[in-house]
């Protein structure tokens, strides 16, 4: 396991999911005042997990969270650890399913990473790979947007995304890169194989080096005036195509 990062999580659902997932929490801060039923429920959950908690005024809670969008609760998390690629692949082996990973190249908006974590958790992804440099990492903002999905979806942070993907390809995994100039319709590839979906960052997309090792360069058809989709939306379409194919397009 790689070194983790200490941080806080804020928001009601992120805290609830972190508690259910067994994430290590050092202390919880609740907004001082008359709590509503949801905050009472969360306080009882925190008590049941024997986690220390205190009540603080709004200005103090804003300071701890680094934002006023905390919904009346902030938790200090012990460590949010990044996983290794091997740990993520082992998880897939235990599920007896082909590996299903997402790699994000220089994604810099916490909203997009948080959205992809939430969608990835919904479709049963094994993990997400991000580079160490020029990329957003796990943070309170990402956790909030993911609605707690970062408690369930492991994230690997690697020094060289190209070398990592090349190694996965050599292990037999199919690399499917999203590219607006791609020559393959996004629903054409076989998503039931062991695979990595590769997404580019906001504005720049995937660089030529990464595209050169992708087995498929897929595009999503557009009929409007804009020439691209938000990376979170494009990623969601691809992730759900995996789910559709792997479930035989039933009950989805």
Would you place residue 116 in the very low, low, confident or very high pLDDT band (cuts 50, 70, 90)?
very high
E-strand stretches of the chain: 5-10, 25-31, 53-56, 73-80, 100-104, 127-131, 155-158, 174-178, 184-185, 195-199, 216-219
Residue 59 lies in a domain: yes
Would you place residue 80 in the very low, low, confident or very high pLDDT band (cuts 50, 70, 90)?
low
Please indicate, yes or no, whether residues 76 and 104 belong to a single structural domain of this protein: no
Residue 110, helix vs strand vs coil: helix
Domain end (from 59, 80, 101): 80
Residue 3 in this model has a pLDDT that exceeds 50: no
Please indicate, yes or no, whether residues 150 and 229 belong to a single structural domain of this protein: yes
Please indicate, yes or no, whether residues 117 and 184 belong to a single structural domain of this protein: yes
Per-residue pLDDT at 130: 93
pTM of the predicted model, to two decimals? 0.75
Please indicate, yes or no, whether residues 213 and 98 belong to a single structural domain of this protein: yes
Distance from C-alpha of 191 to C-alpha of 163, rounded to nearest angstrom: 22
CA-only gyration radius of the chain, Å: 19
Residue 225 lies in a domain: yes
Please indicate, yes or no, whether residues 31 and 92 belong to a single structural domain of this protein: no
Per-residue pLDDT at 240: 96
Question: Which pairing describes strands 155-158 and 127-131: parallel, antiparallel, or unpaired?
Answer: parallel
Would you place residue 76 in the very low, low, confident or very high pLDDT band (cuts 50, 70, 90)?
confident
Please indicate, yes or no, whether residues 27 and 99 belong to a single structural domain of this protein: no
Number of domains in the chain: 2
**For the chain, first and last CA: distance in Å?**
34
Please indicate, yes or no, whether residues 205 and 227 belong to a single structural domain of this protein: yes
Residue 5 in this model has a pLDDT that exceeds 70: no
Please indicate, yes or no, whether residues 72 and 108 belong to a single structural domain of this protein: no
Domain end (from 46, 65, 80): 80
Q: Which domain holds residue 50?
A: 5-80
Please indicate, yes or no, whether residues 48 and 173 belong to a single structural domain of this protein: no
Please indicate, yes or no, whether residues 136 and 23 belong to a single structural domain of this protein: no
Residue 11 lies in a domain: yes
Task: Specify whether the CB–CB gap between 210 and 162 falls below 8 A.
Answer: yes
User: How would DSSP label each residue in 16-33?
Assistant: HHHHHHT--EEEEEEESS
**Please, what is the average pLDDT of the chain?**
88
Mean pLDDT over residues 85-99, rounded? 88
Would you place residue 249 in the very low, low, confident or very high pLDDT band (cuts 50, 70, 90)?
low
Tokens 């934002």, located at residue: 67
Over the stretch 201-227, which tens digit does the pLDDT of each residue have? 887 789 999 999 999 999 998 887 777
Domain end (from 29, 56, 80): 80
Please indicate, yes or no, whether residues 99 and 21 belong to a single structural domain of this protein: no
CATH number at residue 180: 3.40.1280.10
Please indicate, yes or no, whether residues 61 and 145 belong to a single structural domain of this protein: no
Mean pLDDT over residues 163-178, rounded? 96
Residue 136 lies in a domain: yes
CATH number at residue 73: 3.30.1330.30
Over the stretch 18-64, which tens digit does the pLDDT of each residue have? 888 777 788 899 999 888 999 999 999 999 888 889 999 999 999 99
Residue 165 in this model has a pLDDT that exceeds 60: yes
Per-residue pLDDT at 21: 77
Residue 200 in this model has a pLDDT that exceeds 80: yes
């Amino acid at each position: 396991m790689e070194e983790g990062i200490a941080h806080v999580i804020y928001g009601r659902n992120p805290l609830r999911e972190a508690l259910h997932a067994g994430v290590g929490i050092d202390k919880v801060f609740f907004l001082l005042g008359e709590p509503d039923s949801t905050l009472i429920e969360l306080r009882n959950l925190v008590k049941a997990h024997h986690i220390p908690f205190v009540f603080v005024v709004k200005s103090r809670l804003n300071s701890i969270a680094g934002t006023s969008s905390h919904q009346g609760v902030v938790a200090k998390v012990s460590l949010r650890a990044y996983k290794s690629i091997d740990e993520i692949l082992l998880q897939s082996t235990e599920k007896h399913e082909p590996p299903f990973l997402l790699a994000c190249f220089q994604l810099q908006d916490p909203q997009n990473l948080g959205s992809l974590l939430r969608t990835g958790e919904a479709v049963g992804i094994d993990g997400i790979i991000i580079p160490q440099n020029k990329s957003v990492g796990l943070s309170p903002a990402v956790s909030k947007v993911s609605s707690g999905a970062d408690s369930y979806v492991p994230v690997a942070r690697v020094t060289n995304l190209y070398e990592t993907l090349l190694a996965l390809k050599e292990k037999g995994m199919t690399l499917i890169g999203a590219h607006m100039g791609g020559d393959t319709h996004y629903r054409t590839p076989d998503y039931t194989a062991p695979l990595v979906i590769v997404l580019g960052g906001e504005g720049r997309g995937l660089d030529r080096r990464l595209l050169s090792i992708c087995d498929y360069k897929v595009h999503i058809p557009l009929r409007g005036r804009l020439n691209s989709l938000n990376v979170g939306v494009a990623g969601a379409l691809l992730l759900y195509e995996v789910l559709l194919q792997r479930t035989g397009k039933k009950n989805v």
